Structure formats: structure tokens, C-alpha cells
Amino acid sequence: MKFSKLNLSLLLAVAANATSPIGWGKNTTGGEGGVEYHVNSYKELKDALNNNGNPSGPKIIYIESPINGAEDDNGHILSAEELVPGFSFQKYLDCFTEDGSEWLNTDECNKINELRLQGAPIQAAQIMVRITPNTTIIGTGDDSRLEEMSIQIKESENVIIKNLSVEAPNDLFAEWDPTDGIHGSWNAEYDAIVVHNSTNVWIDNCYLSDGAKGVDTTQFVFGKYIELHDGLLDIVNSADYVTVSNNRFENHQKTSLIGNSDGRTTDRDHLKVTIYNNVFVNCNERLPRVRYGKVHVFNNYYYAETFKPGYPSLTVDNYYHDDNANPQYFIGLGVYSDVLSEYNSFNYVGNEEIPAADDIVVYSYGGYTFHDNGSEYNGKNLDFDKMAEESFKLKVKTKMAQNAINGKSNPAWTDATFTTETFEPSEYYDYEVVKSIDYVNDLINKVPTWMFNDVESFIKDVDEDSELSVEDVDAEIENNEDSADDSAEEN
């Protein structure tokens, strides 16, 4: 594979662990120039965010050890039974019929459910940590791991989360709803990271996953594994100017939601997000799922399997054969979304029982503004715009049929016409797309950078036929780092 000088800047940004974002979050500086903290416990993290009584002041927080949000001030990890004495998740499971279709309406079961409901706000208060304005939280090595914690970037601004391993928290009081979907569903709370009504946020070079407590490690009951996780990275409630770059998302079901309600009209003209150079491996859906926002998705690598235990990706075409079901997908188009996809690599593997199907790429929930430039599905060029249009038309047909049966009026989007006239990112920020899908495919061996400690192997695709040698690239990295340092001093 060859890199031209035109695309070298993006390569260097990844290899050198860029010090500033591109895209909608371009003005994010985090805690630059602020007080530095080195933390090794949950209590120390919360104290650092308070910043000696000046929580909005600039600060850089270095995570040097694994930190667990379920630990108390003495470092003890709290269980569900300790948070709510008398509660037992197994007893909760036993309060359903064997197939999970009905709740046993006994006094004992109703008491267990009452305790479960009491536990939810108690756990929320324990694991949710509010990220104050003008903050950089950055990892220092392989031990920089946050687990059982919900990072709340809420009503804040100018925040950077960087170089961290973030494991999705487990809802200790998750709910089984037999009426949710065709066969019932688990509903869990607590996202790993939430950007809520906040501006100028950069999530970069992180590893986000279910960690050691994956879905396939839980009990298999009612025909499903118990799902104790919600989202990995949700961007909601008028959040704006966000860049998500150089991250690896792995082994998760509901990955990234941008806009969390069709009826939240206050999200109009907000939810502007850039997503580039990320890797999504065995993440079932929401990569992302967008409502209202102007979202730019480029140079990302996607990989999913139809047969992955705990994380099977199943679509309308290859499994459900019914748009009333809840299929999996890579990019979800919600109401009033405006999504531009460029040079992404979509990869989907099936088997004889459940083959792959290209409708994994894009799925409409009422969204009708989408365009793709240069992306590939399993190494092939396909008409992704046509796929999106067909999905939208099918959603309109299904929605109108449902409303006719139920006597409901149709939403405005059912009268819309699908269009490929998306917003143009270059009108808002400078960026360069790498037009080599080989480069995008190789992100799985590069992102995040702290998982790969050999820069020369990181850029091994620069060969003797390239315009630049490895030595040239090393020199350019040093020059870029010096320039970044000079720029930081000037600012």
C-alpha cells in the first residue's frame, strides 16, 4: 500500500497520538495549562475533578491505576446485596415463568421487584461521575482502566477523554420485559460515557468494550443472555461540537446513540459530531444511530459476525425478514438526521446457517438524508445511497401500515423524499480523507495506539515504492510534535 504526501497528515495524526482534534470538536483544548493530578482511586478521581474547590478551572487528570466506580472510599467493591439489603438478582429471575413470558405476581416477588427499583438510583449515585468543565482525563499506560463507572460529561464544556480503557458498567438491577419486542428483552441503564448537553468534547485513542463481563459470560435465560449494559458512548440532549477519533469499540450491543428521542425537537441544529479513524469490532448496532444531528463518519473500520456468541449481528434480510423486528446495523438513520459517510470499510461475516447480508451497512428509522463516498462492503463497491433509500421507503411503508391499523396519524417524515444532499463538512472544518481502503482495514492493527507500541510496525505499510521512507515519517512525526509543542506554548 502507498501513502501520498496528501494523506500523510492523517497518518501522522494517528501515529504521533495527535494533540488536537479535527472535525466538529476542533476547538476542544480540555484542561490545557491547568493543575495536574495523578490519581489511583475513585476517591482521588472525584477529588481531582473538584480541583480544590474550583471545578471549572483547567485541570489534567492522569489515570495511573485501574479505577472501579463501584468502590467506596475505603476501596471496597460494593455488590447489589450491599447496596440494597435483601435484594437478590437470582430471586428476581426466579419470579418469572420458565420461558420468561410472565411475572409471578406473588407478595415475595413483588417485594423483590420493589427492592430492585430502589436499587437503581442508589447504584446511579454510586457509579456516575460528573466531568467538570475544562478537563483532560488521560491514561498513562495499560493500567489506565475505568470500570463499573458511568462517565457523565453533563452540562459541561471543553472536555478531553484520552488514552483510556473504558469498560461498560453493569446494571446490577436490570429489568426483563417480556413485552419488549417479539421475544422479550433486557433493559439496562448506565452508559460508559455520556455527552449530555455539553459542547466541545473530544474522545480519542480509547478502548471501549464490555470488558471481562461480556454478554456471553452471563446466564442464558428466557432464550437470551442477560444484558447488563446500555451504551458505550451516547451523545444526547443538544450536545454539540464533538469529535470521536482513533478509538476501538469492541464486544458491545448498543454502542453509540446520537440523539435519544424522536420528540426532542430542541436537538435541532445541535448534535454535530465527527467520527473518524475508529475501529468497531463485534458491536451489534448504533455505530452510530443518529437523530437530528449533522454527523460525519469517515475512515472507520467495521467488523461483525452473524454467529458471534453474545454479539450476533442479525439483519432484516438474513434473519428477521420483517421490518417490525429490531435488526442490527452499522449506521442508523433516525429522524431529521444528516449523515455523510466517506471511505469506511464495512466487513460482515456469516456462516451457512446465517449468511452475511449487505443491509447491515445502513438502516433507516425515518432518516432520509444520507450520502456515501468511496466506502466498501466486504471489499466491494456498492451503492450505499440506494440501500439507504430503500430502507427509508420500507420504513415509511411499515410505519404507515402500523398507524392505519392503530388509528394513529403519520409523522411528518413519512412525507419526506430521500436525498443524498447532505451537509458539506469542509464548510465547517478542514479535514483530509484517506482514500485507501487498505489503510482503513489496517486500523485494526493500529488503534488505539497505546495497544501497539512499535511506531515502525505501525507504519509498516510505507514501503520502498512510497514517496516517503520510515525515516522520513519519523522525522515528520518529530517535526509535528515540535510544532504542536510550540503552538501550545503560544496559546
Catalytic residues, which ones?
286
- What is the enclosing helix (H) or strand (E) of 362? strand 362-364
Residues forming a β-bridge with 346: 302, 377
Q: How far is CA 103 from CA 13, 175, 176, in A?
A: 54, 12, 10
Residues forming a β-bridge with 60: 36, 136
The answer to whether 347 touches 283, Cβ cutoff 8 Å, is no
Neighbours of 168 (CB within 10 A): 31
The answer to whether 208 touches 168, Cβ cutoff 8 Å, is yes
Vertex 274: Cα angle to 269 and 276 (nearest 5): 165
Longest dimension (CA), the chain: 75
Q: HSE, CB side, 13 Å, CA atoms: give it for residue 120.
A: 13
Vertex 179: Cα angle to 178 and 182 (nearest 5): 95
State the sign of the Cα–Cα–Cα–Cα dihedral 60, 65, 66, 67.
negative
Q: DSSP letter for 170, please.
A: P
Task: Report CA Rg, the chain.
Answer: 23
User: How many angstroms separate the CA atoms of 276 and 296, rounded?
Assistant: 8
User: How many angstroms separate the CA atoms of 325 and 351, rounded?
Assistant: 21
At position 140, the amino acid (one-letter code) is T
- Where does residue 108 rank: exposed (0-12), middle (13-18), buried (19+ CB within 10 A)? exposed
> Could you tell me which of 275, 422, 223 has the C-alpha nearest to residue 337?
422
Vertex 80: Cα angle to 147 and 117 (nearest 5): 110
